[in-house]
Structure 1
């Protein structure tokens, strides 16, 4: 259960809550809980059972796959005001998590239990629209990753990454290895 001060802070980070009706708001306060997740922690490993979905209010989570050779591919990252579509999919399909999700920057999240997540999709149009919009946005990002890997040369992908990072003024710590 969320305390009122936590809820007020969270409502500013999640536009969904600013549009929700009173019934959804009350259920949200009762059913959800606050979590701090430190950088470096795996939220899910491939094959994990999903009990709740995190709505991030701060931090960044990387979702990726690891091949048999140990090579990794980042599917997407998500941050403030967003969530993980693979978690949503695992909850809706009642399957296990199909990738790895690791916190890259210390995160604060609101955790929505899986049963409430499913129930609210059926009961609240606003919640359902939020989930479908999330799925749509993230699927587009995954398609961009597939397109880049399949159709663009490595040197151009690296140059584009460096350019994006420079524009965002994010430090990039890498080596040649």
Structure 2
């Protein structure tokens, strides 16, 4: 695990912190679609992503989901941090977007390392800032973008976290993530194809305008 830590976090953390993470962290490898955290769960550990990507979702009173943002290699989740520090139940759902490797850090180490390691403190504060920026972008997207613009942004974001301009996703799953209907998504996808922005294939969508 120390090799993965140094490759992904060596530029952020000093050797002493990397060794502590190696000693107390638990390495976890999960497949695409695996639910790492659900709404209402108590958080006992914080994830550091080594590879892959995780999507963070909210749920309304009717059980419909809305995609907030993705976290990738070298990231952690600010909402997880908040729940860890406040010992609260999770208000989000975290699902592996791709096959993902991560290191789970025990919650009791959070505050200890904040005072012990400046690099950890900087990492946590930067993570809060990055996730807050992404949350504001998600709010702006809902409030100010038309649905076809939201859809195309979603497709580009998904392609970027998958590091592939061809993404495997169903119209129904897109509809779940964007909190709309499959019929609307299918119509808008066809419109984006007619505009030359994507190519619709039977089992995937190719993004042309990244």
Scaled to the shorter chain, the TM-score interval is 0.7 to 0.9
Q: Of the candidates 116, 126, 133, which is equivalent to residue 123 of structure 1? A: 116
1:39 is aligned to 2:32:
yes
Partner Cα distance (1:34, 1:128) in 2: 22
1:11 is aligned to 2:6:
yes
Q: Deviations over 1:74-117 (max 9, x none)?
A: 11111111111111111111211111111121111111110012
Instruction: Report how far residue 148 of structure 1 moved.
Output: 1.0
Instruction: Report how far residue 135 of structure 1 moved.
Output: 0.8
Secondary structure of the 1:36 match is: strand
Instruction: Report how far residue 66 of structure 1 moved.
Output: 1.5
1:108 is aligned to 2:101:
yes
What value does the CA root-mean-square deviation take over the aligned residues?
2.1
Does structure 2 retain, via aligned residues, the 8 Å contact 1:165–1:172?
A: no
1:169 is aligned to 2:165:
yes
- Map of 1:141 onto structure 2: 134
Query: Which gives a bigger RCO, structure 1 or 2 (Cα 8 Å, sep 6+)?
Result: 1
Q: Deviations over 1:4-57 (max 9, x none)?
A: xx212321122xx33533432332221112111222221111111111111011
Partner Cα distance (1:172, 1:23) in 2: 41
Q: Of the candidates 78, 86, 91, which is equivalent to residue 84 of structure 2? A: 91
Partner Cα distance (1:157, 1:70) in 2: 21
- Map of 1:150 onto structure 2: 143
Q: Deviations over 1:127-177 (max 9, x none)?
A: 000011011011101100001101222123224445666786132533344
Partner Cα distance (2:73, 2:142) in 1: 26
TM (normalized to structure 2)? 0.73
Does structure 2 retain, via aligned residues, the 8 Å contact 1:31–1:113?
A: yes
Partner Cα distance (1:86, 1:77) in 2: 12
With 68-77 and 140-149 compared, the bigger mean Cα shift is at 68-77
Q: Give unmatched runs, 5+ long, in structure 2.
A: 172-181, 184-210
Secondary structure of the 2:5 match is: helix
1:28 is aligned to 2:28:
no
Is the alpha carbon distance of 1:169 and 1:68 closer, same or farther for their aligned partners in structure 2, counting shifts above 3 Å? same
